[in-house]
Amino acid sequence: MPQQRTPHRVAVVAPSRVSMFNLAIPELLFDRARIDGAPGYEVTICTPDPGPITTTGGLDLYVGRGLDAVDTADTVLVAGTGERYVPDPRTVTAVRAAAEAGRRVASICSGAFVLAEAGLLDGRSATTYWELASELRERYPSLDLQGDVLYVQDGRVLTSSGYAAGIDMCLHIIRSDYGAAVANQVARLALVAPVRPGGQTQFTHTPLPPERGTACADTRGWAMRNLDKPLTLTDLARHAGVSVRTLTRRFHAESGVSPLQWLLHQRIERARELLETTTLPMDQVARACGLGTADSLRAHLVRRTGLTPSAYRAQFTRLTRAGG
């Protein structure tokens, strides 16, 4: 009989005033993560003073749980206001204690000011909503502000920019906990773009920028359906009906990366899903996603995730394990 999984507990801290959109993102996404039919997360919204809290839209929300929810959480996520505010000292103390206890701590938008006030961003890479970036840097000069990314992970601390960037960060958290297949399924259920990771160093994770146009959308879709083929820049340009130079310029304008960088990212994502959802041998996985050989698959996956293909499959497989 499969062992019952305990949901990962997420405490979402709401300041007063809170952005309703910021507050809705973690509930919307984490609640849709299902593992073998069971909830992957248990989400609790809390606030320093339980009761009605004000939103930036002028409405009042009732939050019945206090900061005691932070004490039992596996992940603490501080929602933002979308505007300047002074962090509540009680929230700062609770978030600092959670981090000192080894829990994952994250923020959306201006929630980064709480993490910075708690000292959690000292010497770390971090980001926040672009309109607040200069103030964050001035108030907390010891952090390494990454002002041009959607979200940043530095160790067990994550910060995102404003609004929809919180979606990307939450999907990244889901993928880190349960794998690409689960994160992509959540994205499909929520009708949002799949998680967009990009270059990764030892500690900092920077995603691909959001796509900003549709001129190359048909070609991207065609490439996704043909990842098992050895696609070249010439192939992509021929499908788009433009020169290689024009394709490269349009692709970068829409996706923020070159066509070949985008293609490699999609191949690795396809490989991750196949490792999670099938028992295909490594050489077949490599061929199916266009990475060629098992050695190439291994090199790219280790560079992206730090795990070999077999270790990744063991950790994130979505196949039901036999057993009593």
In this structure, is the dihedral angle defined by the CA atoms of residues 291, 294, 299 and 302, taken in order, positive or negative? positive
Alpha helices in the chain (DSSP H): 20-30, 68-71, 89-100, 112-117, 133-139, 165-178, 180-189, 217-225, 233-240, 244-255, 259-277, 282-288, 294-305, 309-316
Output the pLDDT for position 195.
Answer: 58
Query: SS3 breakdown of the chain: % helix, strand, coil, rounded to 5?
Result: 45, 15, 40
* Parallel, antiparallel or unpaired: strands 104-108 and 151-154: unpaired
Q: CB neighbours (10 Å) of residue 281?
A: 10
- Dihedral-angle region of residue 179 (phi above 0 means left; psi in -120 to 50 means alpha; beta otherwise): left
In the block, tokens 């978030």 appear at 95
For residues 116 and 137, the answer to whether their CB atoms sit within 8 Å is no
How does pLDDT run across 285-315, given as a tens digit for each residue?
999 999 999 999 999 998 887 789 998 888 8
208 sits in which H/E element: none
Check residue 193 and give its pLDDT. 66
pLDDT at 85: 78
Instruction: Give me the pLDDT at residue 214, please.
Output: 65
Identify whether the C-beta of residue 37 lies closer than 8 Å to the C-beta of residue 6.
no
Helix pair 259-277, 233-240: axis angle to 10 deg: 100
Give the tens place of pLDDT for each residue, 192-239: 766 554 323 223 444 554 555 566 888 888 998 999 999 999 999 999
Q: Which residues of the chain have pLDDT under 50?
A: 1-2, 197-206, 209, 321-324
Q: Note the pLDDT of residue 200.
A: 30
Residue bearing tokens 């973690």:
26
pLDDT at 286: 95
**Predicted pLDDT at 50:** 96
Residues 69 and 27: their CA atoms lie apart, in Å, by 15
> CB-based burial of residue 126 (10 Å sphere; 0-12 exposed, 13-18 middle, 19+ buried)?
buried
